[in-house]
């Protein structure tokens, strides 16, 4: 970020409002803090924050007077409107106490604009800040679901979309944190969709919410291996088992992501692509994709992968998980039947 940000600043082109959006674990808050640090640093090094000056030290400790984070009170998904109006708006118009700018970071901005009555006071207050910005205040909105923010708000912000770090990076972090075997970590990284807090949550969550990872992993592997030759009763039993192991949509959409990745890997392996572009290069997943590549055509594997990905997208809209899985598995089974014999 350093050079391009400094360039923007030197040309006076820093926007007065930013929207950083991305899934949990994509580093929205960290980026906001780094950006503020880089602007407020007193002795830049190659265009980046030095990390050692008084400003950088205060920012690192979370006590910089010109960097304020607003977050919903713990456990709440919407901001009390009064806190928003009295606190955020008043503080937005303060002058910087030591640096050139003040930074106001509003976490979970979408919670703030949730309608609470006839008038959406949260959205109104944000809009007013965006329409009449304080001269030296930079407003940074963080959102996991930016589509819930009104267009009038989004269009007034410079929107930066962040992506999660990806399963490989997540696997590195997880193996340092958990001491699990590398292939188990890779499975968990894919199951969480590359989201470190979610992956750690699967390991450490309350017992009733925690998926049985060993059982889930083995159910997914058997499913990918045997689906094409399962009888209908076996197919329905597999759907019920997967639904039971995964307990809820977050894990289930992750499980569908793993299944899609297995089919995709197999298709690519069949096409002879190098290992670096594969999701799974270790453990039973790698052995399975090798077998699938040897027994199914790339056309079939590609269709299976895209059908599962579509299901992963649609999943959250369906309240009936078991029925959803049964329909999906029947569709996949039909694809096997219609595929040309290898
Ligand atoms: Zn510094």
37 Cα: distance to centroid of ligand 1 (angstroms):
7
Q: Which residue has the tokens 């304080």?
A: 134
CATH code that applies to domain 211-338 = 1.20.272.10
Q: What is the mean pLDDT of residues 290-296?
A: 93
Q: Which of 69-83, 185-199, 218-232, 319-333 is predicted with the least confidence, judged by mean pLDDT?
A: 69-83
Residues 336, 261: Cα–Cα separation, whole Å: 18
Q: What is the mean pLDDT of residues 259-263?
A: 94
139 Cα: distance to centroid of ligand 1 (angstroms):
21
34 Cα: distance to centroid of ligand 1 (angstroms):
11
Residue pLDDT, tens place only, 245-255: 877 777 888 89
Residues 277, 261: Cα–Cα separation, whole Å: 11
227 Cα: distance to centroid of ligand 1 (angstroms):
57
163 Cα: distance to centroid of ligand 1 (angstroms):
27
Read off the pLDDT band of 286 (50, 70, 90). Answer: very high
Residue 195's pLDDT is 77
Q: What is the mean pLDDT of residues 21-33?
A: 83
On the CB side of 9, how many CA atoms lie within 13 Å of its CA?
A: 19
**Around Cβ 146, how many Cβ atoms within 10 Å?**
19
Which range has the top average pLDDT, 26-30, 62-66, 145-149, 174-178? Answer: 62-66
Question: Is pLDDT of 41 > 80?
Answer: yes
**Around Cβ 257, how many Cβ atoms within 10 Å?**
20
Domain with CATH 1.20.272.10 in the chain: 211-338
Question: Is pLDDT of 118 > 70?
Answer: no
100 Cα: distance to centroid of ligand 1 (angstroms):
13
In angstroms and rounded to an integer, the radius of gyration of the C-alpha atoms of the chain is 24
Residue 57's pLDDT is 94
319 Cα: distance to centroid of ligand 1 (angstroms):
50
Pick the CATH number of 2-161 from 2.40.100.20, 3.40.50.720, 3.40.50.300, 3.40.190.10: 3.40.50.300
103 Cα: distance to centroid of ligand 1 (angstroms):
16
Question: What's the mean pLDDT when you consider all of the chain?
Answer: 84
Read off the pLDDT band of 117 (50, 70, 90). Answer: low
30 Cα: distance to centroid of ligand 1 (angstroms):
16
Domain with CATH 3.40.50.300 in the chain: 2-161
């Amino acid at each position: 970020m350093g050079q391009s940000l400094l360039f923007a600043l030197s040309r006076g082109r820093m926007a007065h409002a930013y929207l950083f959006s991305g899934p949990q674990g994509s580093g929205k808050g960290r980026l906001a803090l780094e950006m503020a640090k880089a602007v407020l640093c007193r002795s830049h090094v190659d265009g980046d924050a030095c990390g050692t000056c008084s400003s950088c030290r205060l920012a690192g400790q979370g006590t910089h007077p010109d960097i304020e984070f607003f977050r919903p009170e713990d456990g709440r998904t919407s901001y009390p409107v009064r806190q928003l109006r009295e606190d955020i708006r008043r503080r937005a118009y303060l002058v910087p106490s030591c640096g050139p700018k003040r930074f106001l970071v509003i976490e979970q901005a979408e919670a703030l604009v949730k309608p609470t009555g006839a008038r959406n006071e949260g959205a109104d207050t944000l809009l007013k800040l965006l329409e009449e910005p304080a001269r030296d205040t930079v407003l940074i909105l963080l959102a996991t679901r930016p589509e819930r923010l009104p267009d009038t708000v989004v269009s007034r912000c410079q929107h930066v979309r962040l992506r999660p770090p990806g399963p490989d990076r997540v696997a590195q972090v997880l193996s340092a944190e958990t001491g699990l075997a590398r292939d188990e970590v890779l499975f968990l990284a894919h199951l969480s969709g590359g989201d470190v807090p979610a992956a750690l949550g699967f390991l450490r969550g309350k017992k009733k919410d925690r998926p049985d990872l060993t059982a889930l992993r083995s159910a997914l592997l058997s499913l990918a291996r045997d689906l094409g030759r399962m009888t209908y009763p076996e197919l329905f039993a597999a759907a019920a088992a997967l639904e039971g192991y995964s307990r809820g949509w977050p894990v289930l959409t992750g499980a569908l992501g793993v299944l899609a990745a297995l089919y995709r890997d197999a298709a690519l392996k069949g096409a002879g692509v190098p290992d670096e572009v594969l999701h799974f290069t270790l453990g039973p997943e790698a052995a399975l994709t090798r077998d699938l590549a040897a027994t199914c055509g790339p056309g079939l594997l590609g269709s299976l992968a895209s059908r599962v990905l579509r299901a992963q997208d649609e999943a959250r809209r369906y309240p009936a998980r078991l029925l959803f899985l049964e329909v999906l598995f029947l569709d996949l089974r039909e694809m096997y039947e219609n595929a040309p014999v290898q």
